[in-house]
Amino acid sequence: MTQDQLSAKARWVWSETLRMHRLAPETRVASSLSCVEIFTALYYGGLLEHKGEDPRWEGRDRLIVSKGHGSISLFPILADRGYFDKSELEKVCQAGSFLGGIPDTIIPGYETINGSLGHGIGVACGMAIGLKLKSSSNHIFVVAGDGEFCEGSMWEGVMFAAHHRLDNLTVIIDNNKLCMLDRCEKIMTVEPFERRFEAFGWQAERVDGHDMSLLHQALTQLKGRGRTGRPSVLIADTVKGNGVPELEQDSLCHIRTLTHAEIDRATGGDK
Amino acid sequence: MTTPKNMTMRDAFIGKLCERMATDDKIFFLAADLGAPALDRIRSEFPDRFINVGIAEQNLINVSAGLALEGFAVYTYAIAPFITMRAYEQVRVNLAVSSQIRPVNVTMLGLGGGVSYQVSGPTHHCLEDLAIMRLLPNMSVYCPADWVTAEALVDHTRAAIGPKYIRFDGKALPSLYANSESVDLQKGFTSLAAGTDICLVSTGFMTHRALNAARERKDVAVIDLFSLKPCDEVALAETLAPYRHVITMEEAFINNGGLDSLLTKVVREHELPCSQHPIGFNDKYVFELGSRDQLHAINDMDEPAVIRLIDKLRKG
């Protein structure tokens, strides 16, 4: 895909995410909007080896969505990539559907149980070791939230990955700077991520997480580094509730439900 | 008959597992900075399938879950209270919940069940594990009484997909079974002594106490229940049917979800006409220092206490 096509795809994912929130107001829309470009780059930018029709294909790259509940933006992507029928998107959070407010492995395409924070990096470390032992060249991506790094178990995983030289692992931090009750910097200082990760032995880069071109370029470079002996982290600076003024301006937007009018205003001419 | 050999459960288990690792390259062993003589062999012979994750039980479980999702059969090893309680939420999410959807073959080995680290105090005592691990759906829970049972669990846990917890006693104990074949892991318990009116149903170390007590009084039955989950409850109910009194014996908190709760369920669901008497630790942590015998005596868990209870029940 060209950069323009990727950007257009991201806009479609953004719009679909809001449409699903309209169908299911209990979904976490704000934290799902900050990672739209990240998921789009992975699934449409040639970064994540995958087969929608065969979700457990052995040759796939693994994606762990550690900030699982902020990932309903992945639903339209998975449907579009053939993991399940697009008609399923109409049933989000309805009885009988597998698309819940907090996605789990019952959804084709999800590798792990999500909703409890702080687990993704450690589980990814086990997968990364396993892939190396199987002589697989596949890569593991973890999408984590910045607030998630208040969990000590994240740092146990960070330390482990560096010690075991897991260069087949890339963590993408959706750095939207907000927890549930306030800005992260007011609750618990998690920055500066670069210096913290580098001190542990990781390669760290930072990028504007809504600039599709820069994001794609950074991820391509990190995945293609070859066997450096170091895991990598991309700090993607993002905006929680990106593109929706009512969310962007609300430090409590994590649990904010948008009205239909707000959604219509935000999506405007989108179809 | 030869004298039963004393051996620790962990040495028997890890020794057998090391043999299996030579021919089964899907077995992985993770430890949280806890050693064993047999572990040194695994470390030197299979360095690419042994990892010491350091003092980090939460990561121990998360890494094991990741390896299991990649198709490995993972054994994780740490001190019992830490592997079960420090990492409980990791166990819940990445083993118990996850395994309901995807195959997760992880066997947790907890060393030092009960008060087998007798002078190390409440942090190292482990009196909650049987109840809290039983509580988790999809989790199997084993509490062997001897090293033969522990050794038999190697092939069983490799073959049975799903998360499991095994409580190892911290001390070398004499064998109660002749060989692995005499341990019926499908049924989950064994009748070790026949009786008429009273049956002692014990697990782990307490089975040794139960046998000692039963030798002191006539016709007291003993059942060694080493699989708290799954357990063939129908077979257990049939075995218990003739008895008027059932005394459960566990080195764990009682009345809170352990062995005694399992028996309560069996008695209730099968309408058995027996009274129940749990022996174990009451709702208090143990700060007293002393030998295991002394700690048990304080808590009415030693042989004299069991015999007193038997005599009281027979007097009616």
Give the ipTM: 0.96
Domain layout of chain A by residue ranges = 3-267
Cα–Cα distance measured from residue A1 to residue A42, given in angstroms and rounded to the nearest whole number: 12
Cα–Cα distance measured from residue A89 to residue A77, given in angstroms and rounded to the nearest whole number: 10
The CATH number of the domain holding residue B67 is 3.40.50.970
From the list B228, B196, B225, the residue with the least C-alpha distance to B210 is B225
CATH number belonging to the domain at A3-267, selected among 3.40.50.2300, 3.60.20.40, 3.40.30.110, 3.40.50.970: 3.40.50.970
- Which residues of chain A neighbour B59 with C-beta distances below 8 Å? 122, 125, 153, 156-157, 160
Residues B151, B10, single domain; the answer is: yes
Which residue in chain B has the smallest CA separation from A125?
B63
Domain assignment of residue B23, yes or no: yes
Cα–Cα distance measured from residue A45 to residue B112, given in angstroms and rounded to the nearest whole number: 51
Q: CB-based burial of residue A213 (10 Å sphere; 0-12 exposed, 13-18 middle, 19+ buried)?
A: middle
Domain assignment of residue B1, yes or no: no
Domain assignment of residue B179, yes or no: no
Chosen domain end from B174, B203, B228? B174
Please name the helix (run of DSSP H) or strand (run of DSSP E) that holds residue A173, with its range, or none.
strand A169-175
Residues 6+ apart with CB under 8 A from A262: A244, A246
Phi, psi of B182 (to 5 degrees): -85, 0
Please name the helix (run of DSSP H) or strand (run of DSSP E) that holds residue B109, with its range, or none.
strand B106-111
Asked if the Cβ–Cβ distance from A124 to B64 is below 8 Å, we say no
- Which residues of chain A neighbour B67 with C-beta distances below 8 Å? 126-127, 129-130
Question: Which of A119, A134, A142, A171 to mutate to test binding with chain B, by most B CBs within 10 Å of its CB?
Answer: A119
Residues B303, B167, single domain; the answer is: no
A-B C-beta contacts closer than 8 Å: 92
- Which residues of chain B neighbour A133 with C-beta distances below 8 Å? 48-49, 72
At B179 the three-state DSSP class reads coil
Cα–Cα distance measured from residue A87 to residue A40, given in angstroms and rounded to the nearest whole number: 20
Chosen domain end from B174, B200, B232? B174
- Which residues of chain A neighbour B75 with C-beta distances below 8 Å? none
Report which DSSP code applies to B99.
Answer: G
Cα–Cα distance measured from residue B206 to residue B190, given in angstroms and rounded to the nearest whole number: 14
Domain assignment of residue B60, yes or no: yes
- For residues A79-85, average pLDDT: 98
Four-residue CA torsion sign, B68, B252, B228, B24: positive
Residues B12, B141, single domain; the answer is: yes
- For residues A223-240, average pLDDT: 96
Digit-by-digit pLDDT tens for chain B (316 residues) are 457 789 999 999 999 999 999 999 999 999 999 988 889 999 999 999 999 999 999 999 999 999 999 999 999 999 999 999 999 999 999 999 999 999 999 999 999 999 999 899 999 999 999 999 999 999 999 999 999 999 999 999 999 999 999 999 999 999 999 999 999 999 999 999 999 999 999 999 999 999 999 999 999 999 999 999 999 999 999 999 999 999 999 999 999 999 999 999 999 999 999 999 999 999 999 999 999 999 999 999 999 999 999 999 999 7
Q: Other C-beta atoms within 10 Å of B124: how many?
A: 17
Q: What is the pLDDT of residues B159-178, one digit of tens each?
A: 999 999 999 999 999 999 99
What is the extent of the structural domain holding B190?
184-315
Residues B36, B98, single domain; the answer is: yes
The CATH number of the domain holding residue B244 is 3.40.50.920
Residues B141, B276, single domain; the answer is: no
pLDDT band at A246 (very low <50, low <70, confident <90, very high): very high
Are A79 and A111 contacting, i.e. CB atoms less than 8 angstroms apart?
no
From the list A47, A102, A98, the residue with the least C-alpha distance to A221 is A47
Residues B79, B216, single domain; the answer is: no
Residues B159, B141, single domain; the answer is: yes
Asked if the Cβ–Cβ distance from A160 to B59 is below 8 Å, we say yes
At B316 the three-state DSSP class reads coil
Chain B residues whose C-beta sits inside 8 Å of any chain A C-beta: 48-49, 51, 53-54, 56, 58-59, 61-72, 74, 89-90, 93-94, 97-98, 101-102
Residues B244, B148, single domain; the answer is: no
Number of domain units in chain B? 2
Chosen domain end from B145, B174, B203? B174
At B77 the three-state DSSP class reads strand
